[in-house]
Amino acid sequence: MAAGARLVVLGKQGAGKGTQCLSLSHHYVVTHVSTGDMLREAVKQGTGLGKKAKELMDRGELLGDDLIMEMVSGRLAESDTKDRGFILDGCPRTVEQARMLADLLAPVDLDLVIDIEVPTSQVLRRLASRRVCVDCGANYSLQARPLIGWTCDVCGGEVVQREDDTEEAISRRLEIYEIQTAPLIDWYRERGQLAQVAGTGLPDTVTKRIVRAIEDRSNRKGGRFT
Contact 146, 156 (CB under 8 A): no
Q: Could you tell me the smallest distance in angstroms from the CB atom of residue 178 to ligand AMP?
A: 14
Among this protein's residues, is 220 annotated catalytic? no
Among this protein's residues, is 131 annotated catalytic? no
Residue 172 burial (CB < 10 Å; 0-12/13-18/19+)? middle
Binding site for ligand AMP (CB under 6 A): 13, 35-36, 39, 56-57, 60-63, 68, 90-91, 93, 97, 164, 173
- The rounded distance, in Å, linking the Cα atoms of 30 and 135 is 21
Contact 31, 79 (CB under 8 A): no
Helix locations, 62-166, DSSP H: 65-76, 79-84, 95-105, 120-129
Among this protein's residues, is 173 annotated catalytic? yes
Cβ-based nearer residue to ligand AMP, 83 or 103: 103
Cβ-based nearer residue to ligand AMP, 163 or 215: 163
Which of the following is catalytic: 12, 93, 126, 209? 93
Among this protein's residues, is 212 annotated catalytic? no
Which of the following is catalytic: 40, 126, 131, 162? 162
- Tell me 46's DSSP state: T
Residues linked to residue 197 through DSSP beta bridges, in sequence order? 116
Among this protein's residues, is 40 annotated catalytic? no
Cβ-based nearer residue to ligand AMP, 89 or 218: 89
Residues that are catalytic: 17, 93, 130, 162, 173
